Amino acid sequence: MLSILAGLKNPIMNGLLLGGLYGIVGIGMSMIFGIVRVVNLAHGDLVILASYLSFVTLSIFKVSPLLTLVLVIPAMFLIGFIIQYYLVNRVLGKDMNPPLLVAFGLSIILQNLLLLIFTPDARTLLTDLSITTLPIGSFLSIPVVYLVDFILSLVTIFLLSRFFSKTYLGKAIRAASDDEGAAELMGINAKRIYAWAMAIAGGTAAVAGVLVGMTFTFYPHTGPDYLIIAFGVVIVGGLGSLLGTFMGGLILGLAQILGAHFLGPGFQLISGYIILLVVLAFKPTGLFSKG
């Protein structure tokens, strides 16, 4: 029994750390879903777009991938704003389908654009961190890059929560998401606020993209894989709280790694999918939702 548990400590640790990465991947989608009530089917592709932008920056400037955030975050910020302001805002209305389909179209456009520009070759944001592991005492050994992912995720989510509780824009976003009409009566231009929210979601996608690129290889069509992860994180963690989304990430990460541990590496993704399907079928508002 003890040996089984002992054998589990690495998978559990890795699962939690990976979950941190998943958390930051899901935050952007959680924001848009909760605020604008739109599921951004292009979110995964935006994350991968950020990975490619980082890749380009790396090729030009030869710096550490984390440093590319200086350029990638503002770029994704702008892209997010433009997408919301000029595209999604145009189709916001009572019908849920047009924004969904526009996002779908965007997803396909992004994937094929990346394919044309970068070819189908696998890429990665190489860094020494990617291959080193950190021994903790004599009984744990974790990949450093997972740790970096986890810490950066936590930091980003913390900053985001401060933004929402301390700044005027953050409060305005929360107000608009509570009651768009009442917010407009306060002088808030709801459509513009949604664009800012999407910009911020783009910023989180930037962080997620760089971390993903540092941790795994990516291709132009990797986007949908992370879309399902983001969706899983949001559904499992529930809408309405950043912390809940982060917890959703942890659960998903754990499920995947433990699934792989017990069933084999081919089943890593499926373990996550099963959890997602179960939660979707029985408590779609999420395990930690505020309701």
Partner 1 sequence: MASAFSKRLYGIAIVALALASFPLWASRYWVLVALLFSLNLALSEMWNLLAGYSGLISLGQQAFVGLGGYTLAVFSMYYGFPIWLSILIGGMISVLFALLISAPIFRMRGVYFAIGTWTVAETLRILFSNWKYVGYGMGLFVKPAYTLSFNTIFYAALLMGVASVALVYFILRSKLGLGLMAMRDDETASETLGVDIFRTKLICFILAAGVTGVASGVLYLHNIFIQPFSAFGIDWTVRLVFITIIGGIGTIEGPIIGSLIYVILQQWLSEYPSVSLLILGVIAIAVILVAPKGIMGTIQERLGFEILSPRRK
Partner 2 sequence: MANNILRVQQIDVHYGDFHALWDVSLDVEEAQVVSIIGANGAGKSTLLNTIAGVKKPSHGTVQFRGSRINGIPPYQAVVEGISMVPEGRRVFPHLTVLENLEIGSYTPKARKRKNEALKKIYELFPVLEERKDQLSITLSGGEQQMLAIGRALMSWPQLILLDEISLGLAPVVIKQIYQKVKQINAEGITALLVEQDIQRSLKAAHKVYIMQSGRIRLEGRPDSLSQEQIRKAYFGLSDLNTKPEAEKEL
> Contact positions toward partner 2, by CB under 8 A?
168, 171-172, 174-175, 177-179, 181-190
Query: Please, what is the minimum distance in Å from the beta carbon of residue 242 to partner 2?
Result: 13
Q: Pick between residue 45 and residue 149 the one whose CB is nearest to partner 1.
A: 45
* Distance from C-alpha of 24 to C-alpha of 214, rounded to nearest angstrom: 14
Contact between 266 and partner 1 (CB under 8 A)? yes
Amino acid identity for residue 216 in this structure: F
Residue the block writes with tokens 């604008």: 36
* Distance from C-alpha of 32 to C-alpha of 156, rounded to nearest angstrom: 16
Query: Please, what is the minimum distance in Å from the beta carbon of residue 34 to partner 2?
Result: 10
Q: For the beta carbon of residue 246, count every other beta carbon within 10 angstroms.
A: 27
Segment near partner 1 (CB under 8 A), from 1-9, 61-69, 144-152, 277-285?
277-285
Q: Pick between residue 47 and residue 172 the one whose CB is nearest to partner 2.
A: 172
DSSP 140: E
Which of 219, 231, 246, 288 forms a contact with partner 1 (CB under 8 A)? 231
Q: Is 38 helix (H, G, I), strand (E, B) or coil?
A: coil
Q: Which of the choices partner 2, partner 1, none does residue 144 contact, using the CB cut-off of 5 to 8 A by kind?
A: none
**Residues of span 43-102 touching partner 1 by CB under 8 A:** 87, 90-91, 96-98, 100-102
Contact between 164 and partner 1 (CB under 8 A)? no
Angle between helix 268-282 and helix 223-237 axes, rounded to 10 deg = 40
- Given a contact cutoff of 8 angstroms between Cβ atoms, the answer to whether 29 and 201 are in contact is yes
